[in-house]
Amino acid sequence: MKLIFGGVRGTNPIAHADFLKFGGETTAVLVEGCAGENIIIDAGTGLRALSARLGAGVPGADVLLLMTHYHLDHLMGLPACGLLYDKSCCVEFAAPRRATLKPREVVRRILAKPFWPIQLDQLQARLRFTTLPAVPTAVRQYGGLEVRWCAVHHPEGCHAYRIDEPATGTALVFATDIEWALSSSKEKQHFLTMCRTPYPAQLLVMDGQFSRANLVEFKGWGHSAWEDGIVVAQAAGIKKLLITHHAPHNTDAHLLKIEKAAQRVWSGVALARSGLEVELHG
């Protein structure tokens, strides 16, 4: 199983020479299974690079697109996603129900007039919409991959996902937009259980937009400190942590300083970068 980062930036994209090393695209990642499965998590502006990667492969790609939540920085790459305009592609949108919103209604709203000229019923790809059940033990099978999810602490709600590949004994957890410091004991327990079950994942990708030094002024914004990610990974028995959802104003130089500080605390941590590919091994 392989993880590819299309975008790692939070809040809004940025294009500037000082942001090239880590990238300025917002959240979107691709998970490739060993049997050719494609799962995309979130549809930020990083989706552009991921859809181009899939479009360059064999025509007729099947994609499961998991949505963590519906804030615009995680959806703004969707209207221009090339996969949606390819009649040979099949794209399934999936997420747990959030308030009264199901995945179909969210996609319809994002594409609605006057914000976009092509509406949902005009897209050429074959589309499916799945509302994932809000059951802690639920598992979605997608080819040879297994998907699990749990709610995490964030304004208007958010879900983290775990993807397992039983054939290779590999697993990863993706948890963007989580505020660990304000999470209840029950929220923390559910998340750690997902990280550990049925065995500790090899990789945790977790929101670390802030540090503990500045998190206090952003309390309630729905994000964690990078130090929290280290605590969570170690508590879950996960050996590798990638910090994501970088603050939009943090330049490459600043993020490199954060990465060095984090690695002085724990050698298993690094900061995610757009274009980074991680191959997982059992």
**Residue-level pLDDT at 58:** 61
Q: What are 155-180's pLDDT values in tens digits? A: 999 999 999 999 999 999 999 999 99
**Residue-level pLDDT at 66:** 98
Q: What are 238-264's pLDDT values in tens digits? A: 999 999 999 999 999 999 999 999 999
**Residue-level pLDDT at 100:** 84
CA gap 120, 126 in Å, rounded: 11
- pLDDT exceeds cutoff 70 at 73: yes
CA gap 160, 175 in Å, rounded: 5
Which of 49-63, 93-107, 118-132, 195-209 comes out lowest in average pLDDT? 49-63
**Spatial CB neighbours of 120, under 8 Å, sequence gap ≥ 6:** 104, 107, 108, 111, 127
Mean pLDDT value across the chain = 95
- pLDDT exceeds cutoff 70 at 21: yes
- pLDDT exceeds cutoff 80 at 1: yes
**Residue-level pLDDT at 8:** 98
CA gap 61, 32 in Å, rounded: 12
Q: What does the pLDDT average to over 3-8?
A: 98
Cα 7 to Cα 26, 151, 152, 166: the distances in Å are: 5, 22, 21, 27
- pLDDT exceeds cutoff 80 at 59: no
**2-277 maps to which CATH number?**
3.60.15.10
Say whether the peptide bond before residue 198 is cis (omega within 30 degrees of 0). Answer: yes
Q: Provide the residue ranges of all domains of the chain, joining segments of one domain with +.
A: 2-277
Q: What are 97-114's pLDDT values in tens digits? A: 988 889 999 999 999 999
